[in-house]
């Protein structure tokens, strides 16, 4: 790194001093904290993204969002060249960078890292970073901090793509790196075209019955706003958007959104008894996850939740049907695998295994599930909270494309051709960069039509085991170390034994704990054969967590 570059970094970094007395760490999905302390972190992530762009000679993305967190929080997610999350190999550098005490130390760190990674400044390739943000009021100034960070690397170009959902930004990065046009209008065009194709491939006998409108909760965030745009491009699907983020409708993520609905299992604000039985979906604050639900009769606002596990099951079932045709008609064996985390309801895992599917378990966080899903020709992954997507391997996709062309001249209109076309359309509709509520909802909608299913019929695929999630505030959540896809506590010693003793008291009991990567808490999960038992199990495990790690009270 030459003196000019060093001087530039020093000068820019001095405008973004780090907050005193706090350490901000790269978590499950990037950095997240109260927005007021994030400027320096985001500025430094700008530098990191420019370095990553130089290293990979590809476009990188920065998304300013704190997803489902409260409106006063914000955060930053980084999209790698594939459109997926930043490679885990760079996470330790991200932590060091964010916490370097002053500009001199920061520049020293960058110089050392650049040398180790063989990154040269001022070469032929100029770094390029796409920037996006959600609707949070702090987004604009944090985006500016990211831009300053990028601009402090000589030659680097920052392009502001505006207010976007997280998956839109990831999609843009992916498509730019594939050499394709990646404007927001291209994104909308692609999902509405592939949705139309899939609607056209619905068996004729299923198209007769009209389906009711979908009612969607936009979490008062960017997803609601974008869904309003998407719905205008669709035919054959009516969507009523509530909590769309318009002035006066409510506060982002406050009593609304997929996270609230999934964890509390009650209606989001704006929904009530008039909606009993109707098909409803809820997006999270940055629209990278979604769940479905319907309102149950009664005054307690209870819902029947159709979560990520059931979305995964629906997708797996539909894809499996298409693969059965490929196998029968063409003798083609396709390796289909599904990926879940320990939060997956035990009943869903049983169901998927009974379908004959290979089920893999990874730690929490899309970065782990996504990576595992690459192991298959088609890998479907979902977290119970609704974050997931479907990945198609490059070789299987190219086989599908070739076969599609051949069949157009030999077997036009055959069942085999239809299955090939459906799979191709799914690969276009679903966002293969990252989980995407907009395209995910559209895929659910078209599959329900294909099956002729109501949300109630879908929900009956299997019955969830009652479960409960709790959060425990502790002194130091990093004191908890887990193993086996987070199902076992390794440290502190003795805690796992205590959990085992509690679990043994219940029929079908299962419980695990792990430190959250996005909030300063330990999460407790429990399931058992009745809700009361699941609640009690969670409560007693939480008490053990408190005893081992808490502030001295239980």
Ligand X SMILES: CC(=O)N[C@H]1[C@@H](OP(=O)(O)O)O[C@H](CO)[C@@H](O)[C@@H]1O
- List, by residue number, the catalytic residues: 67
- CB 417, CB 341: distance < 8 Å: no
515 is in an annotated binding site: yes
Burial of 390 by CB count in 10 Å (0-12 exposed, 13-18 middle, 19+ buried)?
buried
Residues of 115-131 as b/e, b for ≥16 C-beta within 10 angstroms? eeeebebeeeeebbbbb
517 near ligand X, rule: CB under 6 A = yes
Residue 322 interacting partner from ligand X, Mg ion, none (CB closer than 5 to 8 Å by kind): none
Which residues, including other chains, have CB under 8 Å from residue 50's CB and lie 6 or more apart?
Answer: 60, 127, 129, 149, 150, 153, 156
The owner of tokens 């198209």 is 207
Q: How far apart are CA 177 and CA 181, in angstroms?
A: 10
Q: How far apart are CA 174 and CA 434, in angstroms?
A: 10
From the CB of 441, what's the least distance to ligand X, in Å? 18
Give the DSSP per-residue string, 61-96: EEEE--TTS-TTEEEEEEE-TTSSBPPGGGHHHHHH
543, containing H or E segment: helix 531-549
- CB 81, CB 73: distance < 8 Å: no
For ligand X, which is the closer residue by CB, 341 or 427? 341
Question: Where in 1-60 is the site for ligand X (CB under 6 A)?
Answer: 28-29
343 near ligand X, rule: CB under 6 A = yes
518 is in an annotated binding site: yes
- Interstrand relation of 31-34 and 73-79 (parallel, antiparallel or unpaired): antiparallel
Task: Give the total of residues touching ligand X (CB under 6 A).
Answer: 15
Write the interaction track for Mg ion spanning residues 262-301; mark x where CB under 5 A is met and - where it is not. ----------------------x-x-x-------------
For 230: left if phi > 0, alpha if psi spans -120 to 50, otherwise beta; the answer is: alpha
Write the interaction track for Mg ion spanning residues 417-436; mark x where CB under 5 A is met and - where it is not. --------------------
Q: How far apart are CA 507 and CA 86, in angstroms?
A: 41
Cβ–Cβ contacts within 10 Å for residue 406, how many? 12
Residue 365 interacting partner from Mg ion, ligand X, none (CB closer than 5 to 8 Å by kind): ligand X
Following CA atoms 188, 193, 194, 198 in sequence, which dihedral angle do they give, to the nearest 10 degrees?
140
Given candidates 5, 39, 65, 67, which one binds ligand X under the rule CB under 6 A? 67
Stretch that binds ligand X, among 45-53, 209-217, 299-307, 381-389 (CB under 6 A): 381-389
For Mg ion, which is the closer residue by CB, 288 or 436? 288
Report which residue's Cβ sits closest to Mg ion. 67
Q: How far apart are CA 516 and CA 524, in angstroms?
A: 10
368 near ligand X, rule: CB under 6 A = no
CB-side neighbour CA atoms (13 Å) of 154: 16
510 near ligand X, rule: CB under 6 A = no
523 is in an annotated binding site: yes
Residue 177 interacting partner from ligand X, Mg ion, none (CB closer than 5 to 8 Å by kind): none
440 near ligand X, rule: CB under 6 A = no
From the CB of 73, what's the least distance to ligand X, in Å? 12
Residue 366 interacting partner from Mg ion, ligand X, none (CB closer than 5 to 8 Å by kind): ligand X
242 near ligand X, rule: CB under 6 A = no
284 is in an annotated binding site: yes
Question: Where in 58-97 is the site for Mg ion (CB under 5 A)?
Answer: 67
Task: Give the total of residues touching Mg ion (CB under 5 A).
Answer: 4
Residue 364 interacting partner from ligand X, Mg ion, none (CB closer than 5 to 8 Å by kind): ligand X
* Cα three-residue angle 276-279-281, rounded to 5 degrees: 115
152 near ligand X, rule: CB under 6 A = no
Question: Where in 523-552 is the site for ligand X (CB under 6 A)?
Answer: 523
Residue 286 interacting partner from ligand X, Mg ion, none (CB closer than 5 to 8 Å by kind): Mg ion
**Contact positions vs ligand X (CB under 6 A):** 28-29, 67, 343, 364-366, 383, 385, 387, 516-519, 523
- Please report, in range form, the residues annotated as the binding site for Mg(2+): 67, 284, 286, 288
**Contact positions vs Mg ion (CB under 5 A):** 67, 284, 286, 288
């Amino acid at each position: 790194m030459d003196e000019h570059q060093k001087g530039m970094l020093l000068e820019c970094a001095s405008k973004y001093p780090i907050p005193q007395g706090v350490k901000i760490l790269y978590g499950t999905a990037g950095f997240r904290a109260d927005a007021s302390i994030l400027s320096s972190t985001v500025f430094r992530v700008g530098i990191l993204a420019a370095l990553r762009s130089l290293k990979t000679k590809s476009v990188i993305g920065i998304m300013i969002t704190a997803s489902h967190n409260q409106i006063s929080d914000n955060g930053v997610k980084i999209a790698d060249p594939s459109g997926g999350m930043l490679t885990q190999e760079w996470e330790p550098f991200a932590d060091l960078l964010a916490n370097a005490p002053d500009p001199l130390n920061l520049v020293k760190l960058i110089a050392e890292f650049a040398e180790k990674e063989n990154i040269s400044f001022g070469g032929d390739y100029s770094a390029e970073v796409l920037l996006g943000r959600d609707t949070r009021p702090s987004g604009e100034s944090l985006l500016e901090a990211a831009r300053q960070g990028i601009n402090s690397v000589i030659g680097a170009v920052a392009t502001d793509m505006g207010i976007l959902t997280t998956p839109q930004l990831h999609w843009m990065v992916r498509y730019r790196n594939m050499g394709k046009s990646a404007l927001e209008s291209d994104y909308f065009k692609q999902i509405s075209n592939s949705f139309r194709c899939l609607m056209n491939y619905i068996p004729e006998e299923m198209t007769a019955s009209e389906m009711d409108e979908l009612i969607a909760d936009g979490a008062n965030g960017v997803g609601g706003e974008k869904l309003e745009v998407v719905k205008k491009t669709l035919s054959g699907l009516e969507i009523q958007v509530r909590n769309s983020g318009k002035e006066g409708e409510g506060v982002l993520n406050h009593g609304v959104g997929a996270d609230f609905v999934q964890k509390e299992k009650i209606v989001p604000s704006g929904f009530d008894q008039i909606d009993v039985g109707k098909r409803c979906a809820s997006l999270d604050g940055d629209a990278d996850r979604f769940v479905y639900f319907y309102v149950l009769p009664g005054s307690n606002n209870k819902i029947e939740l159709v979560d990520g596990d059931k979305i995964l099951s629906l997708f797996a079932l539909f894809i499996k049907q298409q693969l059965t045709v490929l196998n029968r008609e063409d003798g083609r064996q396709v390796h289909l695998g599904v990926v879940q985390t320990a939060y997956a309801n035990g009943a869903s895992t049983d169901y998927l295994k009974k379908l004959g599917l290979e089920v893999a378990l990874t730690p929490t966080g899309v970065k782990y599930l996504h990576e595992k899903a690459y192991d298959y020709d088609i890998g479907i992954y979902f977290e119970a909270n609704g974050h997931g997507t479907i990945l198609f391997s490059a070789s299987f996709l190219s086989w599908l494309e070739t076969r599609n062309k051949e069949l157009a001249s030999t077997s036009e209109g055959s069942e085999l051709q239809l299955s090939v076309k459906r799979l191709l359309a799914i690969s276009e509709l679903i966002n293969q960069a990252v989980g995407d509520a907009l395209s995910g909802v559209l895929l659910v909608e078209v599959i329900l039509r294909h099956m002729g299913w109501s949300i109630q019929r879908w929900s009956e695929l299997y019955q969830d085991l009652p479960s409960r999630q709790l959060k425990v505030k502790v002194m130091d959540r990093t004191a908890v170390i887990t193993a086996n896809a987070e199902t076992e506590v390794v440290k502190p010693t003795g805690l796992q034994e205590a959990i085992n003793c509690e679990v043994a008291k219940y029929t079908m009991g299962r419980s695990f704990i792990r430190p959250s990567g996005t909030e300063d808490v330990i999460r407790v999960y429990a399931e058992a054969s009745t809700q009361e038992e699941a609640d009690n199990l969670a409560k007693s495990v939480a008490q053990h967590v408190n005893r081992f790690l808490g502030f001295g009270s239980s």
